[in-house]
Amino acid sequence: MTTKRIPRRVGYQLTHIRRDVPRCDPALLRAYEGQAAATVHEAMGRRGALDPAIKPLAADMTVCGRALTVRCHTGDNLMLVKAVSMAGPGDVIVADMGSAVASGPFGEVLAVECMARGVAGLVVSCTVRDSREIIRMGFPVFSAGLCVRGTAKATLGTINHPICIGGEIVRPGDLIVGDADGVVVVPLEEAPDILRLAEERTAKEAVVMDRLRAGESLFDIYGYQRVFDSLHCVEE
Ligand SMILES: O=C([O-])CC(=O)C(=O)O
Ligand SMILES: [Mg+2]
Protein backbone atom coordinates (compact mmCIF):
# COMPACT_ATOMS: atom_id res chain seq x y z
CA MET A 1 0.00 0.00 0.00
CA THR A 2 1.36 3.43 -0.89
CA THR A 3 1.04 6.33 1.50
CA LYS A 4 -0.33 9.54 0.01
CA ARG A 5 1.78 12.52 1.00
CA ILE A 6 0.20 15.95 1.21
CA PRO A 7 2.44 18.52 -0.54
CA ARG A 8 3.54 21.23 1.87
CA ARG A 9 3.19 24.08 -0.62
CA VAL A 10 -0.06 24.22 -2.56
CA GLY A 11 -1.03 27.28 -4.58
CA TYR A 12 -0.52 30.63 -2.82
CA GLN A 13 1.83 30.40 0.13
CA LEU A 14 1.87 33.18 2.72
CA THR A 15 5.28 34.18 4.00
CA HIS A 16 4.58 34.50 7.71
CA ILE A 17 7.92 35.99 8.75
CA ARG A 18 9.91 38.49 6.71
CA ARG A 19 13.44 39.37 7.78
CA ASP A 20 14.56 41.57 4.88
CA VAL A 21 12.96 44.89 5.90
CA PRO A 22 14.00 48.52 5.31
CA ARG A 23 16.23 49.97 8.03
CA CYS A 24 16.53 53.67 8.63
CA ASP A 25 19.86 55.42 9.11
CA PRO A 26 20.89 55.15 12.82
CA ALA A 27 21.80 58.88 12.87
CA LEU A 28 18.25 59.72 11.77
CA LEU A 29 16.85 57.49 14.50
CA ARG A 30 19.02 59.22 17.12
CA ALA A 31 17.86 62.63 15.87
CA TYR A 32 14.23 61.59 16.40
CA GLU A 33 14.93 60.62 20.02
CA GLY A 34 14.67 64.22 21.22
CA GLN A 35 11.39 64.89 19.41
CA ALA A 36 8.01 65.10 21.17
CA ALA A 37 5.23 62.99 19.65
CA ALA A 38 2.92 66.00 19.33
CA THR A 39 5.59 68.01 17.49
CA VAL A 40 6.18 65.17 15.03
CA HIS A 41 2.43 64.81 14.50
CA GLU A 42 2.10 68.55 13.75
CA ALA A 43 5.20 68.52 11.53
CA MET A 44 3.64 65.84 9.34
CA GLY A 45 0.43 67.80 8.84
CA ARG A 46 -1.44 66.23 11.77
CA ARG A 47 -1.13 62.72 10.43
CA GLY A 48 0.14 59.48 11.93
CA ALA A 49 -1.37 59.66 15.43
CA LEU A 50 -2.56 56.31 16.82
CA ASP A 51 -5.87 56.14 18.67
CA PRO A 52 -5.39 57.82 22.08
CA ALA A 53 -6.67 54.64 23.75
CA ILE A 54 -3.06 53.42 23.27
CA LYS A 55 -1.20 55.01 26.21
CA PRO A 56 2.07 54.51 28.09
CA LEU A 57 1.94 52.40 31.26
CA ALA A 58 3.67 55.29 33.08
CA ALA A 59 3.54 58.98 32.18
CA ASP A 60 7.34 59.30 31.95
CA MET A 61 7.72 56.48 29.39
CA THR A 62 8.94 57.48 25.94
CA VAL A 63 9.68 55.38 22.88
CA CYS A 64 11.54 56.00 19.63
CA GLY A 65 12.63 53.42 17.09
CA ARG A 66 11.90 51.49 13.91
CA ALA A 67 8.78 49.36 13.72
CA LEU A 68 9.04 45.60 13.88
CA THR A 69 5.43 44.75 13.06
CA VAL A 70 3.50 41.75 14.33
CA ARG A 71 -0.01 40.53 13.58
CA CYS A 72 -1.33 37.98 16.05
CA HIS A 73 -4.50 35.97 16.08
CA THR A 74 -7.00 37.28 18.63
CA GLY A 75 -6.24 35.94 22.12
CA ASP A 76 -2.97 34.31 21.01
CA ASN A 77 0.54 35.68 21.53
CA LEU A 78 2.60 33.03 19.70
CA MET A 79 3.79 35.47 17.01
CA LEU A 80 4.51 38.17 19.60
CA VAL A 81 6.81 35.77 21.47
CA LYS A 82 8.56 35.04 18.15
CA ALA A 83 8.83 38.76 17.32
CA VAL A 84 10.49 39.48 20.67
CA SER A 85 13.07 36.77 19.87
CA MET A 86 13.88 38.61 16.60
CA ALA A 87 14.03 42.14 18.02
CA GLY A 88 17.09 44.14 18.97
CA PRO A 89 18.35 47.65 19.74
CA GLY A 90 16.42 50.36 17.90
CA ASP A 91 13.39 48.13 17.30
CA VAL A 92 9.94 49.01 18.57
CA ILE A 93 7.66 45.98 18.47
CA VAL A 94 4.31 47.15 17.10
CA ALA A 95 1.66 44.49 17.60
CA ASP A 96 -1.83 44.23 16.21
CA MET A 97 -3.40 41.66 18.52
CA GLY A 98 -6.67 41.21 16.64
CA SER A 99 -10.16 42.19 17.68
CA ALA A 100 -10.13 41.34 21.42
CA VAL A 101 -8.84 44.29 23.42
CA ALA A 102 -9.02 42.61 26.83
CA SER A 103 -6.21 40.09 27.02
CA GLY A 104 -2.71 40.03 28.48
CA PRO A 105 -0.35 38.78 25.75
CA PHE A 106 2.64 40.69 27.17
CA GLY A 107 3.91 40.86 30.72
CA GLU A 108 6.94 40.83 32.97
CA VAL A 109 8.57 37.77 31.37
CA LEU A 110 8.53 39.12 27.82
CA ALA A 111 9.54 42.56 29.11
CA VAL A 112 12.63 40.98 30.70
CA GLU A 113 13.54 39.45 27.32
CA CYS A 114 12.96 42.79 25.57
CA MET A 115 15.21 44.57 28.08
CA ALA A 116 17.92 41.90 27.68
CA ARG A 117 17.81 42.39 23.90
CA GLY A 118 17.92 46.19 24.11
CA VAL A 119 14.50 46.54 22.42
CA ALA A 120 13.34 50.16 22.38
CA GLY A 121 9.71 49.49 23.35
CA LEU A 122 6.34 47.88 22.65
CA VAL A 123 3.23 49.41 21.12
CA VAL A 124 0.29 47.02 21.28
CA SER A 125 -3.37 47.30 20.26
CA CYS A 126 -4.73 45.46 23.31
CA THR A 127 -4.14 45.38 27.05
CA VAL A 128 -1.09 43.95 28.86
CA ARG A 129 -0.40 42.54 32.35
CA ASP A 130 2.30 42.55 35.06
CA SER A 131 2.23 46.34 34.81
CA ARG A 132 3.82 46.97 38.21
CA GLU A 133 6.90 44.92 37.30
CA ILE A 134 7.14 46.44 33.78
CA ILE A 135 6.95 49.97 35.18
CA ARG A 136 9.52 49.08 37.83
CA MET A 137 11.98 47.80 35.22
CA GLY A 138 11.31 50.85 33.01
CA PHE A 139 10.52 49.07 29.74
CA PRO A 140 8.39 51.44 27.59
CA VAL A 141 5.00 49.83 26.88
CA PHE A 142 2.17 51.64 25.12
CA SER A 143 -1.09 49.69 25.34
CA ALA A 144 -4.87 49.96 25.56
CA GLY A 145 -4.72 49.39 29.34
CA LEU A 146 -4.40 46.40 31.62
CA CYS A 147 -5.96 42.95 31.74
CA VAL A 148 -5.01 39.86 33.72
CA ARG A 149 -6.31 37.34 31.11
CA GLY A 150 -3.73 34.99 29.59
CA THR A 151 -3.45 34.09 25.91
CA ALA A 152 -3.01 30.91 23.87
CA LYS A 153 0.24 30.17 22.06
CA ALA A 154 -1.07 28.16 19.14
CA THR A 155 -1.84 30.22 16.03
CA LEU A 156 0.32 31.68 13.29
CA GLY A 157 0.16 35.32 12.27
CA THR A 158 2.68 37.55 10.49
CA ILE A 159 5.89 39.37 11.33
CA ASN A 160 7.16 42.35 9.34
CA HIS A 161 4.08 42.76 7.17
CA PRO A 162 2.13 46.05 7.15
CA ILE A 163 -0.44 46.20 9.97
CA CYS A 164 -3.21 48.55 11.07
CA ILE A 165 -3.05 49.65 14.71
CA GLY A 166 -4.94 52.43 16.45
CA GLY A 167 -6.42 53.42 13.06
CA GLU A 168 -3.03 53.92 11.37
CA ILE A 169 -1.06 51.79 8.92
CA VAL A 170 2.39 50.83 10.20
CA ARG A 171 4.88 49.22 7.82
CA PRO A 172 8.04 47.44 8.94
CA GLY A 173 10.82 49.99 9.26
CA ASP A 174 8.54 53.01 9.78
CA LEU A 175 9.55 55.30 12.64
CA ILE A 176 7.61 55.19 15.91
CA VAL A 177 7.69 58.12 18.34
CA GLY A 178 5.71 57.94 21.59
CA ASP A 179 5.41 59.76 24.90
CA ALA A 180 2.72 60.61 27.45
CA ASP A 181 0.71 62.38 24.72
CA GLY A 182 0.45 59.28 22.52
CA VAL A 183 2.12 57.43 19.66
CA VAL A 184 2.88 58.68 16.14
CA VAL A 185 4.01 56.65 13.11
CA VAL A 186 6.24 58.32 10.52
CA PRO A 187 6.51 56.64 7.08
CA LEU A 188 10.17 55.77 6.60
CA GLU A 189 10.51 57.57 3.24
CA GLU A 190 9.17 60.81 4.78
CA ALA A 191 11.27 60.60 7.96
CA PRO A 192 14.14 62.97 6.94
CA ASP A 193 11.75 65.75 5.76
CA ILE A 194 9.48 65.40 8.80
CA LEU A 195 12.46 65.57 11.16
CA ARG A 196 13.53 68.85 9.56
CA LEU A 197 9.99 70.27 9.88
CA ALA A 198 9.76 69.09 13.52
CA GLU A 199 13.10 70.74 14.37
CA GLU A 200 11.96 73.97 12.68
CA ARG A 201 8.72 73.87 14.66
CA THR A 202 10.54 73.30 17.96
CA ALA A 203 12.89 76.24 17.25
CA LYS A 204 9.96 78.49 16.26
CA GLU A 205 7.97 77.58 19.39
CA ALA A 206 11.02 78.34 21.59
CA VAL A 207 11.09 81.88 20.17
CA VAL A 208 7.31 82.25 20.61
CA MET A 209 7.50 81.10 24.25
CA ASP A 210 10.28 83.63 24.94
CA ARG A 211 7.99 86.36 23.57
CA LEU A 212 5.10 85.08 25.76
CA ARG A 213 7.34 85.21 28.84
CA ALA A 214 8.13 88.80 27.88
CA GLY A 215 4.41 89.66 27.97
CA GLU A 216 3.10 89.21 24.42
CA SER A 217 0.01 87.07 23.64
CA LEU A 218 -0.22 84.04 21.37
CA PHE A 219 -3.33 85.61 19.85
CA ASP A 220 -1.28 88.57 18.62
CA ILE A 221 1.89 86.70 17.67
CA TYR A 222 -0.03 84.34 15.38
CA GLY A 223 -2.35 87.11 14.13
CA TYR A 224 -5.58 85.33 15.06
CA GLN A 225 -7.45 88.64 14.81
CA ARG A 226 -7.60 87.86 11.05
CA VAL A 227 -9.58 84.70 11.84
CA PHE A 228 -11.87 86.62 14.21
CA ASP A 229 -12.47 89.22 11.50
CA SER A 230 -13.30 86.59 8.91
CA LEU A 231 -15.80 85.05 11.36
CA HIS A 232 -17.33 88.51 12.09
CA CYS A 233 -16.62 88.24 15.80
CA VAL A 234 -18.67 90.75 17.77
CA GLU A 235 -17.10 92.24 20.91
CA GLU A 236 -18.63 94.88 23.19
O1 LIG B 1 3.74 34.88 28.78
C2 LIG B 1 2.72 35.48 28.51
O3 LIG B 1 1.73 34.96 28.01
C4 LIG B 1 2.66 36.95 28.83
C5 LIG B 1 3.14 37.21 30.19
O6 LIG B 1 2.43 37.07 31.16
C7 LIG B 1 4.54 37.60 30.41
O8 LIG B 1 5.25 37.92 29.45
O9 LIG B 1 4.94 37.67 31.57
MG1 LIG C 1 3.44 37.21 33.18
Dist CA 148 CA 102 (whole Å): 8
Residue 154: CB within 6 Å of ligand 1? no
Q: Which atom of ligand 1 is nearest to the CA of 129?
A: 6
Give the closest ligand to the alpha carbon of residue 80. Answer: 1
**Ligand 2 center to 129 CA (angstroms):** 7
Global confidence as pTM: 0.93
CA 177 to chain centre: 6
Residue 193, C-beta contacts closer than 8 angstroms, at least 6 positions apart: none
- What are the sequence ranges of the domains in the chain? 26-199
Backbone φ and ψ for 37, nearest 5 degrees, come out as: -60, -40
Residue range 26-199, CATH number: 3.50.30.40
Q: pLDDT tens across 77-122, in order?
A: 999 999 999 999 999 999 999 888 898 999 999 999 999 999 999 9
Q: Which atom of ligand 1 is nearest to the CA of 108?
A: 9
pLDDT at residue 2, rounded to an integer: 58
Share of the chain above pLDDT 70, in %: 95
- Terminal-residue alpha carbon distance, the chain: 99
Q: pLDDT tens across 133-173, in order?
A: 999 999 999 999 999 999 999 999 999 999 999 999 999 99
Residue 106: CB within 6 Å of ligand 1? yes
Residue 70: CB within 6 Å of ligand 1? no
pLDDT at residue 10, rounded to an integer: 59
**Ligand 1 center to 56 CA (angstroms):** 18
pLDDT at residue 80, rounded to an integer: 98
**Ligand 1 center to 130 CA (angstroms):** 8
ipTM computed for the complex = 0.96
